[in-house]
Structure 1
Amino acid sequence: MELVVFLDVSIVNVALPAIGAGLGLTVVGLAWVGTAYQVTFGGFQLGAGRATDILGRRRLFRAGLTVFTLGSLLAGLAGWAWLLIAARALQGVGAAILVPAELSLLAASFTEPAAYRRAFGWWSAMGAVGAAGGVVLGGLIVQLLSWHWIFLINVPIGVAGLLFSGRLLPADAPATTPAARLDLPGIVTGTGSLLLLVYVVTVAAEGDLGPVTAGLGAAGVVLGAAFLWIETRSRDPLLPFRFFRDLDVTGSTLASVIVGAAHVPAFVFLALYFQEVQGYSALKSGLAVLPIAAVNLAVSRLAVPAALAKWGPRVVLTAGMALLATGLVLFGMLPAGGSFVTDYLPGALIFAVGLPAVFVGSTMPAVKAVADHETGVVSAVVNTAQRVGAGLGVALLAALADERADAVGGPRRGALNEGYHLAFLGAAALAALGVLIGLWLVLRGRSEGAVAEGEEGEDREGAVDATSA
């Protein structure tokens, strides 16, 4: 289901012109077709992750798939803009329930190290191919059918998943520890704070800095403070802050923000570049990113597990961020009348190699760092970070692109391209920040390893001295 969830992040991008024409949406309204999904996807994951650990992995997986499928059906049938945006928000809630349960199932089902690395390699492939392949599939569907079918295609997949998951997924194990409870005050305040703050940053990036926006921002900060207060006093906190004493959890969370903020805007602006600057059709625009999807799949299957075994996830993350940054810089130099082979393809292939590396490198360490019964909530933490990063990245880089295009003026095609250049370079700067985070993790890991070896050496010397005495 990872493929379907990430498809729905990117599949909409290529269909935005058709959706706008069909429903009469403005640019701001079109932005919310994507943002509504991102905000609820990010906002509801913490509560869903904790529910996964308490109520059961398979049960929450099936619940999330049900909500996601229902949201897809409503979005596909929507004839009004408000219904489409509401359905996209519902899809995001379903995805928020689905992803932590999925990662928790993965961690519980593959315990042998080599099998675990292969499983995460395939998982990263599904996320990366979904991000790239959504543009391809969206172009095909819009060209051959209509934009409604980019959502309706999820319905038979979801129904099939519900029919077979009961047989194929391992049953939820009976509780072996004292029953925990859901932290409802934490869920309400934490989710409310995330939703409000992401909403405020998004609309502020679009130029709305009025008193209503400021009031909602203040409410988000107050809810965030209440969440912190509640969590430090809760017997069963929604988010145990002790997680962040672990370098792998902290590093994965920071890296995930950057992964979302860098890679999701890249696909948004590639779709816009091909259609608005190059004049491609929706179908041709989708096919243009097919090389990214193909390379993602090959690298995830053939290279990522071997790289994890040889260098570990921190080095894989750092290298992936460097490749992402390089590809984005090349995208930031795409000419208005550029060649697909000589101007676009080099950057696309470099970007494609880096994408699965950053997916697995930013997620695997955190999931491995916690106990089996806590994998749901820690999966939610890193995925929430990525979704929030994606929503903020798209909103902020879109605002920069619009401002740049307006400042340049002149022919629309050239002005838009200048704006997209700035957006790609902004995403590259974020990926470069990810490289620094990766290097910090690698160096801290080596430092901790050296300290541990020193302590072991002192213990051995002490044992020898005691034996001699």
Structure 2
Amino acid sequence: MAQFMVVLDVSVVNVALPSIQRALGFTAAGLQWVVGGYALVFAGFLLLGGRLADVYGRRRVFLWGLTLFAASSLVGGLAATPGLLVGMRAVQGLGAAVLAPATLTILTTTFTEGPVRTRALAIWTAVSSAGGAAGNVIGGILTDFLSWRWILLINVPVGAVAVLAAVRVLPADRFRARSGKLDLPGAVLATLGVSALVHGVTQAQDHGWGRPTTLAGLAVGVLALAGFVVTEARYAAAPLVPPRLVRMRPVWAGNTVMLLAGACFIPMWYFLSLYMQDVLRYGALATGVAFLPHTLVGIVGARLAPAVMRRTGPRALIALAALLSAAGFAWQSRIGADSTYGEGLLGPAIVMSAGMGLLITPVITTVTSGIAEQDAGAASGLMNATRQIGGAVGLAALVTLAGTVSADAVGSYRAVFTAMAAVCAALAALAAALPPPPLKISK
């Protein structure tokens, strides 16, 4: 429930933006921060959020993040001014940055490596896929039949049930000596670096790569992240991301795969939504319903991943899933202005979403294998941050590509999906850098 809410809130407001603008009097420039405020804070604080679970306890931090997320949803849903709504969306992003790594950390520390953990991670992946894709549907239904406010208020009862379930189900945190002090300089540099980088990329998406605001954001992001690397390697007594973690082959290779996957799978929803509404002239609710096959096939793929992985191993499954996604994006690149739903959307959706569903579970399994319990939160935060950064950078790069290759909208979308197919093909080749699974002697 917690992970579903976190991913849902990345996309649920998109359909409601026109209603929000009319109700609260947002300017066109200010309206983007209803989405951007959440995404920016979420991406910026993921590394810190992941480490909090290691230092202060998984259940405790999970409950902190869940409570903060639900409370800010309540205030945001009742907001009467643009400033208050944007502020609460930013607080939601902070709660999500604490909550998302904690959900994954709880799974990886509760279940030992093997089939049971793989099944748990597959369910987590399926829920994430469902949350991301269901945002447009739920946003359209709530906005059309109730009010835009319910896209936020719905989190309050769901969050309350999740809190009660967490208190009853999750084991209490074991006592730990608080020698694991939080690396505050590293936290500041990581948060500043990721936030500035995402902000710079967002500015590039809106204004171009040569604008001073874009260059300033990118420069601050790169310098802060460079300072973060130096701090973690030389000065931090309790690093936010321990250097030993990044040097592990499964971690650096798996996070590179996740970076490329995020650069394709996160922007996909953006471009498909625009294609449906601007070219095919679908309404908001019809667009959300048209995404249902993507959701359902992605869930099926995620649930099948453990069974397939037992036969192929994670490395082979990652390559297979990436090639399947590449084929789906290549098919999607053949769209036209008069494409029918079946040939232009449904067919490609089945292929690419099957690849997406099959891909994430073996990547997470690879990255988290062999991670010490005290580093589980850092590994989870790093992987979530990598995916979000990949999505932000990929979206800006693809928007730039769409605006330069063709003045025709359909031609731009074709180029974008062709580029996504090429990235997925490269991702399949990169899977060779992942370590093979260890040999196990069955009892």
CA distance in 2, matches of 1:294, 1:288: 11
Query: Counterpart amino acid of 1:363?
Result: I
1:201-254 deviation digits (Å, cap 9, x = unpaired): 220232254444434433333322322222122221111111122111011211
Alignment-derived partner of residue 268 in structure 1: 270
Task: Give, in angstroms, the shift of residue 193 of structure 1.
Answer: 1.2
Task: Give, in angstroms, the shift of residue 28 of structure 1.
Answer: 5.1
Change (3 A) 1:316 1:38: farther
Change (3 A) 1:183 1:402: same
CA distance in 2, matches of 1:141, 1:425: 34
Change (3 A) 1:184 1:217: same
Alignment-derived partner of residue 421 in structure 2: 428
CA distance in 2, matches of 1:173, 1:211: 50
Task: Give, in angstroms, the shift of residue 30 of structure 1.
Answer: 4.5
1:104-129 deviation digits (Å, cap 9, x = unpaired): 11012222622112111111111111
Alignment-derived partner of residue 162 in structure 1: 163
CA distance in 1, matches of 2:34, 2:426: 29
The total of aligned residue pairs comes to: 437
1:19-61 deviation digits (Å, cap 9, x = unpaired): 4454555665454433332222221111111111010000110
**Does 2:172 correspond to 1:179?**
no
Q: Is residue 265–residue 427 contact of structure 1 (8 Å, CA) maintained in 2?
A: no
CA distance in 1, matches of 2:68, 2:130: 23
Change (3 A) 1:337 1:392: same
CA distance in 2, matches of 1:35, 1:359: 25
Moved more, 372-381 or 225-234: 225-234
Moved more, 429-438 or 73-82: 73-82
Alignment-derived partner of residue 43 in structure 2: 42
Alignment-derived partner of residue 250 in structure 1: 252
Alignment-derived partner of residue 306 in structure 2: 305
Match for residue 445 of structure 1 among 422, 436, 443:
436
Q: Is residue 295–residue 352 contact of structure 1 (8 Å, CA) maintained in 2?
A: yes
Q: Percent identity?
A: 36
Q: Is residue 64–residue 95 contact of structure 1 (8 Å, CA) maintained in 2?
A: yes
Q: Which has the larger radius of gyration?
A: 1
Alignment-derived partner of residue 10 in structure 1: 11
Change (3 A) 1:258 1:74: farther
Q: Is residue 74–residue 153 contact of structure 2 (8 Å, CA) maintained in 1?
A: yes
Change (3 A) 1:187 1:103: same
Match for residue 411 of structure 2 among 398, 418, 425:
418
CA distance in 2, matches of 1:29, 1:362: 37
Query: Counterpart amino acid of 2:430?
Result: I
CA distance in 1, matches of 2:294, 2:276: 15
Task: Give, in angstroms, the shift of residue 309 of structure 1.
Answer: 1.7
CA distance in 2, matches of 1:67, 1:167: 19
Moved more, 315-324 or 345-354: 315-324
Alignment-derived partner of residue 54 in structure 1: 55
Partner SS for 1:265: helix
Q: Is residue 39–residue 388 contact of structure 1 (8 Å, CA) maintained in 2?
A: no
Moved more, 246-255 or 84-93: 84-93
Q: Is residue 36–residue 88 contact of structure 1 (8 Å, CA) maintained in 2?
A: yes
CA distance in 2, matches of 1:142, 1:35: 20
Task: Give, in angstroms, the shift of residue 103 of structure 1.
Answer: 1.0
TM-score, normalized by length of structure 2? 0.91
In structure 1, stretches of 5+ residues that fail to align are 409-414, 454-469
Moved more, 128-137 or 205-214: 205-214
Alignment of 1:82-161 (within 5 A): 82-111=83-112, 113-161=114-162
**Does 2:196 correspond to 1:203?**
no
Alignment-derived partner of residue 192 in structure 2: 192
CA distance in 2, matches of 1:34, 1:224: 24
**Does 2:285 correspond to 1:283?**
yes
CA distance in 2, matches of 1:115, 1:229: 38
